[in-house]
Each structure stands twice: as C-alpha cells, then as structure tokens.
Amino acid sequence: SAVISQKPSRDICQRGTSLTIQCQVDSQVTMMFWYRQQPGQSLTLIATANQGSEATYESGFVIDKFPISRPNLTFSTLTVSNMSPEDSSIYLCSVGTEPYEQYFGPGTRLTVT
Amino acid sequence: ILNVEQSPQSLHVQEGDSTNFTCSFPSSNFYALHWYRWETAKSPEALFVMTLNGDEKKKGRISATLNTKEGYSYLYIKGSQPEDSATYLCAPKHGSSNTGKLIFGQGTTLQVKP
C-alpha cells in the first residue's frame, strides 16, 4: 500500500486567487493522479501527473487553470488558478501501484467565496 | 465516455440489517473493478480490486461479486453496523494495463441507524 498526505486539508479562498495543493507519498510511485469531486458529483479525473514531463489532462481541464508539477516520484502539486465559486470542491491526490491497486489521499476541501 | 451507474443513490437501514448495492459498467475492454468506502473527512478506503469474471471477495462482513460479461458488480454488507455508514464508490478500469484511468460512479450513501 501507499500512504499519501495532502496539504492543506481545507481552505477558504477568495475568487480570483490561486491555491497550490501538495501531495506527498511515502514511497516512489510511477502513476500519480489528481481528482476532483464537486458537490453532488462523482469523482472526476483532472490529470495524470507525469514525472519529468507535462501532465496529461482530461477533457474539460486545461493546464492554464490547473497547472501540475511532478518533480520526483514521491511528490506533486496541483494549482487551482484564478478561482471562482465553481471551483469549490474536494481535490484528491491518488497513486497507482502494480498490478491493480490505486490509493487516495485525504483530500483538500476548497471553498471559494 | 464510459457510463458507470450505481444504485441505489442512498440507503437508510437499521443496525443488523443486511444490504446490497449495484454497480453497472461497460463490459467491453474491461481490466479491473475497484470498490472504495469513503467516510466524511477521510481518504477513500480501498475495499476490493476485482479482475476476473465470477470473482468473489470478502473482507469481514463485506463481500463483492463481479460479472464482467454483463458488466455489473454487487457489494453486500451483512449485519450492518453504524460504523458502516459511508459512501461506497465503484470504479472500473478499462484497457490492457493498470495505466488506464478509473471512472467513478456517483456512489451509494449508506446510513445505518443504531
């Protein structure tokens, strides 16, 4: 298994500002992902964080809005830029380990006012 | 876009009742199915990963079955306890390897009354 921590655990931000969320894993992992759960919605994949190269974004998500860094195999950040109330969500970091498992961090609960 | 459906959306049962939920997903190009339990303010907890048609897995009072040919999975909880109250999420993965992405259903929220 993998132990994942995220910072901050929650935040309240003003519209127009940006927030960077950090994800730290206790072991080296190849696959690292960022998800979002908006109120009343499913968990939705934002992007796959690739070590040493640009993240791979899912349809509907763009780098300018959600820049991601992955400097090594144990750490990643997700920035939510120029926030609006629609960005109020739970943001989760997740890692995949072979052959099948995928684990999640505790999430960052973001409220944009 | 893959469609994953979970039913019911929510469920209220009395302590001691047994219950079950359904997850349906596209059967083509199936790789694995994940079940998670998500309690408020905690990480989603991995319950089961199932890969083979006919698979049955058990963890304490919770068990799950998988039918990959028709694209569904059942999760059973025997003798529900208040601590089982949570949202239960299923997520299939399609493709030929673990690099595929999980697609989540909306979840079944279970409330167990003492």
What pLDDT digit, counting tens, does each position of A49-106 carry? 988 889 999 999 999 999 999 999 999 999 999 999 999 999 999 998 877 888 999 9
Neighbours of B40 (CB within 10 A): 7
Is residue B1 over pLDDT 60?
Answer: no
Locate the chain A residue with the closest alpha carbon to B48: A101
Any CB–CB contact under 8 A between A36 and chain B? no
What pLDDT digit, counting tens, does each position of B11-60 carry? 999 999 999 999 999 999 899 999 999 998 888 999 999 999 999 999 99
Sheet-wide strand order for B10-14: B10-14, B108-113, B86-94, B30-38, B45-50
SS (H, E, C) B54-91: CCEEEECCEEEEEECCCCEEEEEECCCCHHHCEEEEEE
Residue A3 half-sphere exposure toward CB, CA atoms < 13 A:
1
> Using a CB-CB distance cutoff of 8 angstroms, which residues of chain A are in contact with residue B101?
33, 45, 48, 58
User: Minimal Cα–Cα distance from A100 to chain B, Å?
Assistant: 6
